[in-house]
Amino acid sequence: MPHLHGFTKTLRYNLLMPADVEKQALYTTTLYRQVVSYYLQVFQEHQEIIGHSRWLKEAERLTHQTKDNPDPEYSFDREFPNLPSGFRRSAIAEAHGKALAWKTSYEKWQERKRRHEEKNRKRAAEGKKPIKFKERPPQYPEDNNCWLIYYDTEYKWLDSNHVLLKMFTGKSYVYRKVTLLQPFAVSPGYVAGSPMLVKKPTGWELHVPIVRVAKLGLRKVEELVKDPSLKICAVDLGMNRHAVMTIQDTEGRVYAAKFISAAKDNHLRKRYLEKIVNLQKETRIIPEGERFAKHLWNKVSNLNDDIAHRVSRQIVEFAKIHGAKIIVFEYLDSLKPSKGTRSHRLNQKFILWVKGRIFRYTSYKALHESIITCRVSPKETSSHCPYCGFPTIVRYNKGKGGEETEGVDLAKCTNCGIRDVNSDFIGSLGIGRNFRLKYCL
In a shared domain, residues 193 and 256: no
Residues 201-228 have pLDDT tens digits of 999 999 999 877 554 444 578 888 888 8
Residues 270-328 have pLDDT tens digits of 888 888 878 877 766 555 444 567 788 788 888 888 999 999 999 999 999 999 999 99
Among 169-173, 334-338, 375-379, 388-392, which is the least confidently predicted range?
334-338
State residue 216's pLDDT score. Answer: 45
Residue at which a domain ends, from 212, 232, 247? 212
In a shared domain, residues 39 and 174: yes
Average model confidence (pLDDT) across the chain: 86
In a shared domain, residues 188 and 264: no
| Parent domain of 177 | 4-212
Instruction: Give Cβ neighbours of residue 49 (< 8 Å, ≥ 6 apart).
Output: 43, 55, 58, 59, 62
- Report the sign of the C-alpha dihedral through residues 231, 432, 330, 394, in that order: negative
Instruction: Indicate left, alpha or beta for 90 from its phi (over 0: left) and psi (-120 to 50: alpha).
Output: alpha
State residue 30's pLDDT score. Answer: 95
Given a cut of 70, whether residue 349 has pLDDT beyond it is no
Residues 35-65 have pLDDT tens digits of 999 999 999 999 999 988 899 999 999 999 9
- Which CATH number does the domain housing residue 279 bear? 3.30.420.140
DSSP 144: -
Q: In the chain, what's the furthest Cα-to-Cα distance?
A: 87
Given a cut of 70, whether residue 333 has pLDDT beyond it is no
In a shared domain, residues 244 and 333: yes
- Give the Cα separation of 365 and 8 in Å (integer): 9
In a shared domain, residues 227 and 150: no
In a shared domain, residues 170 and 231: no
- Give the Cα separation of 373 and 233 in Å (integer): 9
State residue 86's pLDDT score. Answer: 93
In a shared domain, residues 430 and 309: yes
In a shared domain, residues 435 and 402: yes
In a shared domain, residues 207 and 223: no
In a shared domain, residues 203 and 223: no
Residue at which a domain ends, from 147, 179, 212? 212
State residue 217's pLDDT score. Answer: 45
State residue 26's pLDDT score. Answer: 95
> Where is pLDDT greater, at 350 or 267?
267
In a shared domain, residues 236 and 158: no
State residue 386's pLDDT score. Answer: 85
Residue at which a domain ends, from 187, 212, 237? 212
In a shared domain, residues 228 and 101: no
Number of domains in the chain: 2
State residue 316's pLDDT score. Answer: 95
